[in-house]
Structure 1
Amino acid sequence: MKKLKLLAAFLAAPMLIFAQQSETWDLQRCVQYALDNNISVKQSDVQARLDALTLKQAKANQIPTLSFNTQGGYNFGRSVDPTTNQFTTNRVLFQSYGIQTGVTLFNFFRVQNDIKAKKIQGEASASDIERAKSDVTLNVAAAYLQYLLAKEQVNIAKGQIELTTNQLDLTKKQVEAGALPELNAAQLASQLATDSSTYITNVTTMEQNKLQLLALLNLSADAPFEVSLPDVDKIPLEPISELQPDALYKHAVQTQYQQRVDSLKILSAKYAAKSARAALYPTLSAFGSVGSNYASSFMTQTGSFPYMDTIGTININGKDYYSTAQGQIPVYGKASYGKQIFDINLSQAVGISLNIPIFNNRQSRTAWEQAKLNVTNLQLQQAQNNQTLQQDIYTAYTNAKSGIEKFNANTKGASYAQYAYHLAELRYENGMLSASDYLVAQNNLYTAKINQSAARYEYIFRLKVLEFYKFNQIHL
């Protein structure tokens, strides 16, 4: 059973590969794949995530800081006893601990404005992703239509070769029968060579357009790829009367992602300038700390013995002590590690600090002035982008309008060329027209079809560009 399953899978593999290779791509699939895999879109997404981390850091600046430190070591030679701060030549084993905390109480809203700036910058980055996607959509649509046009021209060139080949075969038969001179067959053979050269040129152009489209999709150049050919006459198109440039521009300024990005960046920069200005003013902070240490040389009083009533010496635990008066003599011993850390050497501190900037080599003021100039620069960039948008819309409208007129003219020209070729074909077959005149009519028809096809795809794309400024998307 297992072997049968393996055999079935082996036999089905070529069919699956063939199915994948024969699968066609329409515009929607191309656009979606590009949005998922295009490098520019991915870079915009990474930048948005970086800005999200920056916002998270800005919010964290409101939280009190907390740090812990410890150090341990062994002192020998002349050193400072960490518990008495006295110089000693004894060898000392030491250990210290410390916990510090601090929080900014008021700094003229520097942190709050910085958070607002970072938050709006994050929104701008999110919109920039959509801006990148819209650019990719437009570029993919343009490349897709160029590829369709190239395929159409290849098909027309292929049909031209078939037409010339059939006519050459017919002419050869007539030459053999003595009805036509041999010159006619030679002229048609020359035309067939020209048509073949044109076909090869068109195939090369189609492959180049295909490579351009694959690059936008971030697909390998050798990947199986074939586009579906839509019915051009059924592609939905907005009437150009509904795409007037003045109304389209007013709408696009409010809806295009680039314009939204520009507005958000300016607002973010204004808050950043407020945050930079706050650095010129005092900062009020609170702090607190807990610390302790241990030293092997530390001695603490463990008891006392009475002095002698008279002046003299007394031996206590093997040591002689000198007494000058009556009283008690203290007895010292080493304190334990826990006793020193948690009791004897434990210290705490709380307080408030005020930091007043007086002069720091003009760094804070320069940062503030740079932030203000950044706002001005972004405003100028916004004005330039709006101007470019307006020019693009008016240019697209002019191109679309002329494209429609050009297509109508070429359609009429193709119709007349088709009729002229039909008449020339009849006359040529009846020996009433020379081969050269027949070839002129045939070439005129080919040129008219190429021009009609190019004009059709051109005006469709121009209208789709205008629709893009209205709807922020393209559909075929």
Structure 2
Amino acid sequence: MKYRMVVFIVLCSLLSYGQEKWSLQQCVEYAIKNNVSIKQSDVQARLTRLSSLQSQMTLYPNVGGGVSTGYQHGLTEDPTTGTLVSSSFISGSANLQASYNIFNWNARRNSIAANKLYAQADEIGIDKAHNDISLAVANAFLQVMLRREQARISEVQLNQSRSQLGNTRKLVNAGSQPELNAIQLEAQLAKDSSGLLQAQALEQQALINLKAYMNYDFSLPFDIQSPAVESIPVENIADLQPAAVYQLAVATQPIQKMYKLRIEAAQKEAKAARGLMYPSLSAFGGMNTRAVNAKYPVMAFAPPDSTNAFVTIGTTQYKVFAPSVRQLGTVGIPLFRQLSKNFGQSIGLSVNFSIFNAYTSRTQWERAKVNVVQLQLQDEQENLNLKTNIYNAYQDAFSSFQKYNAAHRTVEYSQKAFDISKKRYDIGLLGTLDFIITQNNLYLAQIDEISSRYDYVFKMKVLEFYKGQGIKL
């Protein structure tokens, strides 16, 4: 019983969650948290932050050490005495080294500065990804609203055709109109039904595209909160002159800031590459010790033994005695005594310079300078693209505004024509085909008007976006 209650509560929660209607702000916030491209930008920024941190650590000395041990058998060199012995023993050693680059013509500091700038650029790249996905989500959101409005108009058209067919069928049954009129309206009704199904399918496709930008689970129910297109605030197009919008966009758009930082980073890299062509001064030091567990013989001198040999000095002969040495046993040297006795230290300075390395260093410097020029050209191209996009967006918005006004007038005239046609059709002064044509003209004019209205709103929102106002409905 408890299990069923839990399942019921979970299902109710999911149902209520699915029935929630999402505003544009909610869709954008969800997309920023879950969109894959934004996550990729965040990962890239984390990688460059790690590279920047690693380069900063080069300001500190390099310190390393090691401990080794091994077994040796037979004739081999004693690591503590340096003599060849025939024995079996275990030896060990320990060492600690440190080095520090004292001066390298600021190559290291320029590399650190370059990595910091690249990290800052990738952080701004996250903002660029946020802006890109916000604009894409806003466009997809408006597409859903457009498709939904088109479906609503198609449904109105279908209801009108159904109502007109009902009235005509009554007149046909009464004998005041021919059967052909009803058949023609039935064909129109079938066409309108197909148009409504197609409009509803396009609405679902628009919802799927919006879910894709948000990285939202396709299997979950989802719906948007559609404000009336007339209530969406739009600035006066006269206040969005392209030259003024461009000046604001250059100062506020993330991609322009990102390229400026990358150019500065590339210039630092070029200085670092040039510094590596000159000599560098380094300091180094180290400590080491070693020990073995070998046993060494303990020798003692005994009284000399007489031999049969004589040495004649002058006229006197002297008997030769041979010294006698005896081994009393073996003894090992204590470990800590060996470590202390064999402890060594070293310290010094080194100057490193390249005489000839197959033009590698100079080529790296030349490539770094070319990279600066390449980034400068990319920045110039991005500024040109931005200006082109803004001017095109302004012209598109102006054209959309004119198109919307024309479509609005077309709807007014088509509505008047339809009203007159309906009155004439009802009294039998207009044929069915002519009436259907007038009705279709009104339907197409309404579709064109709403499409032009949404297109104009989106074009204006793009201009507002470039102006730095973000996306809002």
TM-score where L is the length of structure 1: 0.92
C-alpha separation in 1, matches of 2:8 and 2:40: 42
* CA positional deviation for 1:333: 5.1
Partner amino acid for 2:407? N
Task: Verify the 8 A CA contact 2:104 2:275 in the aligned structure 1.
Answer: yes
Letter in 1 for 2:333: A
Q: Secondary structure at the match of 2:149?
A: helix
Query: 2:242: which partner in 1?
Result: 245
Q: Are 1:86 and 2:65 matched, yes or no?
A: no
- Matching residue of 2:453: 456
Which is strand-richer, 1 or 2? 2
Contact 2:114 2:268 in 1 (8 A): yes
Q: Does 2:37 align with 1:40? A: yes
SS of residue paired to 2:428: coil
SS in 1 for 2:56: helix
Tell me the CA shift for residue 299 of structure 1: 5.3
Match of 2:125 in 1: 128
SS of the residue corresponding to residue 360 of structure 1 reads coil
> Counterpart in 2 of 1:337?
335
Unaligned 5+ segments in structure 1 are 320-330
- Aligned counterpart, 2:166: 169
SS of structure 2 residue aligned to 1:377:
helix
Give yes or no for the alignment of 1:261 onto 2:235: no
Per-residue deviation, 1:223:
2.5
Q: How many Å apart are 1:204 and its aligned residue?
A: 2.5
Alignment of 1:321-400 (within 5 A): 334-341=332-339, 343-400=340-397
CA RMSD of aligned residues (A): 2.2
- Give the direction of change, closer, same or farther, for the CA distance of 1:162–1:305 in structure 2 (3 Å limit): same
Rounded to whole Å, the distance in 2 between the matches of 1:275 and 1:184 is: 86
What does the per-residue CA deviation read over 1:43-98, in whole Å, with 9 as the maximum and x for residues that have no partner? 00000000000011101111111111111112223322211223333323211110
Matched residue, 2:111:
114
Count of residue pairs brought into register by the alignment: 459
Q: Is 1:289 equivalent to 2:286 in the alignment?
A: yes
CA distance in 2, matches of 1:260, 1:110: 25
2:198 maps to which residue? 201
Q: Which residue matches 1:221?
A: 218
> Any conservation in 2 of the 1:284–1:353 contact (CA below 8 Å)?
yes
Q: Distance in 2 between matches of 1:253 and 1:41?
A: 22
Residue 207 of structure 1 deviates from its aligned partner by: 2.3
* Residue pair 1:134, 1:472 contacting (<8 A) in 2 also: no
Alignment partner of 1:466 is 2:463? yes
Match of 1:67 in 2: 64
CA distance 1:15–1:335, change in 2 (3 Å): closer
Does 2:406 align with 1:409?
Answer: yes
C-alpha distance after superposition, 1:419-462 (max 9, x if no partner): 22111112211222211121111111101110110001000000
Q: For each residue in 1:261-310, what CA deviation from the matched residue of structure 2 results, as whole angstroms up to 9, or x when unmatched?
A: 1111111111011111111111111111110001234759x9998999x9
Match of 2:204, SS state, is: helix
Contact 1:187 1:435 survives alignment (8 Å): yes
Runs of 4+ in 1 over 6 A off after TM superposition: 302-308
Deviations 1:334-374 (A, max 9, x none): 32111101x21010111111111212222222111111111
Quick one: distance in 2 between partners of 1:370 and 1:415?
A: 65
Normalised to the residue count of structure 2, the TM-score between the two structures is 0.92
**1:200 Cα deviation after fit:** 2.2
- Residue 64 of structure 2 contacts residue 97 of structure 2 at CA under 8 Å; is this kept in 1? yes
Q: Hey, what does 1:276 align to over in structure 2? A: 273
Counterpart CA distance in 1 for 2:407 and 2:181 is 30
